[in-house]
Amino acid sequence: MTSSAERGPGGNASDAAGAVILAACAIWSLVSATGRETRPEGVLLALLAVAAGFACGRICGTLLPVATATVAALAALVMALVWRDGMPGATATTDTAPGYTGAAAGLLVLAAGAACCAAAAARREPLRFTLRLLALGAACASLGLGSVAGCAAALGVLLCSLASARVRRRLPGLAGLALAAGLVVGISWAVAEDVLPDGLTISLEGQLTRNRVQLWQDAAHLAGQHPVRGIGPDRFAELSPTAQESLRSDGKPHSAPLQQAAEQGVVGVLLLGAAFGWLLYVLWRSPCSTPVVLTAGAALTALAALAGVGNALSFTPVTAGAGLLAGLASARQPIGDGGPAPAIGTERLPRSGDGP
């Protein structure tokens, strides 16, 4: 079973740390926008979506954990399939938001994660099997929409969920997920700086497209010129030659870390990394079972990997969904309730629900 310490002051400390980090992200976006013609509204909206989704997940994960996770998975799946002409809440300004495939892939990864979390928490085997079929359907849908990376990410979440049933300690798993996300960011930065061997660079360009690599190079160049405050939120389209020359460009470098580096400097990158680290820390301190925690961590890591090579985080439903999933997987009993926590996944067998 999970340790009682996870339900005590550590949980309150992680919530306080999250509030501080999100507030710092909001403040720094305003600082980097000071004295410039910038539009920090997109960053502030994304932060608000994460906070709102997290709070909603915490509440619903305490009251109706399996039902909420199932509904969230179905809603993300339907949203990715129905809005074929653009994603609601997009920060892109064109009628049909460019980067839709990346946004849909992000939603489908979150759908797979929510379905697998619900499966890990469900008591009946037929329901678990059905929910995992839903996760597999999300992966197939991503492939049908033309996102091979999204399909691979959703399948990875499903496989991690199946493997997590045999894992006793969550900390090594979460550490491995953090390293995986860091590896993706490191590779994208190396491509932008053109420091990889020629053969590997050519191979990656074939997968990423030359246009995206040039956008990354523009972002790295701008980050080098303005290392502290960056160029200001949402100004990449104005200062990137590649974005200006590209047809139907959404004005994004299609990499969240590189966009942060270009628009908000090194401080913005550190705050983005701190926000992701906070989500993993919240999962580590969660009173939920280890399979649920690792499944949610795998989904958030897969989303981080997609955001490292795309613009999935530019869409409000994706950021809200990430917060919702983290809240569901870290839900705990209300303050003052002396009974056992009805959080998602606590009904799992003790062998597969050990805490860190």
Instruction: Provide the residue type at 96 as one letter.
Output: T
pLDDT of residue 345: 52
Task: Look at residue 13 in the predicted model and tell me its pLDDT.
Answer: 84
Please give the Cα distance from 97 to 104 (Å, whole number): 11
pLDDT at position 84: 55
Quote the pLDDT of residue 295: 96
pLDDT of 8: 39
Per-domain residue ranges of the chain: 4-352
pLDDT at residue 244 in the model: 85
Continuous segment of H or E residues that includes residue 69: helix 65-82
What is the DSSP code string of 294-325?
HHHHHHHHHHHHHHHSS-GGGBHHHHHHHHHH
Q: What is the pLDDT of residue 354?
A: 43
With contact defined as beta carbons under 8 Å apart, do 47 and 22 qualify? Answer: yes
Contact 248, 94 (CB under 8 A): yes
Secondary structure (3-state) at 32: helix
pLDDT for 90 equals: 47
> Are the C-beta atoms of 287 and 341 separated by less than 8 Å?
yes
Instruction: Give pLDDT, residue 176.
Output: 95
Asked if 353 and 341 touch (Cβ cutoff 8 Å), the reply is no
pLDDT value for 311: 86
- Each as own residue / partner, the long-range contacts of residues 210-215 (CB below 8 Å, 24 or more positions apart, any chain) are 211/242, 211/246, 212/254, 212/309, 214/242, 215/240, 215/242, 215/243, 215/246, 215/252, 215/253, 215/254, 215/255
CB 263 within 8 A of CB 232: yes
Residue 336's Cβ-count burial label (10 Å; 0-12, 13-18, 19+) is: exposed
Query: With b meaning 16 or more CB within 10 Å and e meaning fewer, what string describes 11-48?
Result: beebbeebeebbebbbebbebbbeeeebebebbeebbb
Closest CA to 310 of 113, 157, 103, 111: 103
Residue with tokens 């590896």: 183
Cβ proximity of 91 and 314 under 8 Å: yes
pLDDT by residue, tens only, the chain of 356 residues: 344 334 434 567 888 999 999 999 999 999 999 888 888 998 999 999 999 999 999 999 999 999 999 999 999 999 998 875 555 544 434 343 445 667 889 999 999 999 999 999 888 999 999 999 999 999 999 988 888 889 999 999 999 999 998 888 999 999 999 999 999 999 999 999 988 888 888 888 888 888 889 999 999 999 999 999 999 998 998 898 988 887 767 788 999 999 999 999 999 999 999 999 999 999 999 999 999 999 999 999 999 999 999 888 888 999 999 999 999 999 975 433 334 444 455 444 333 344 43
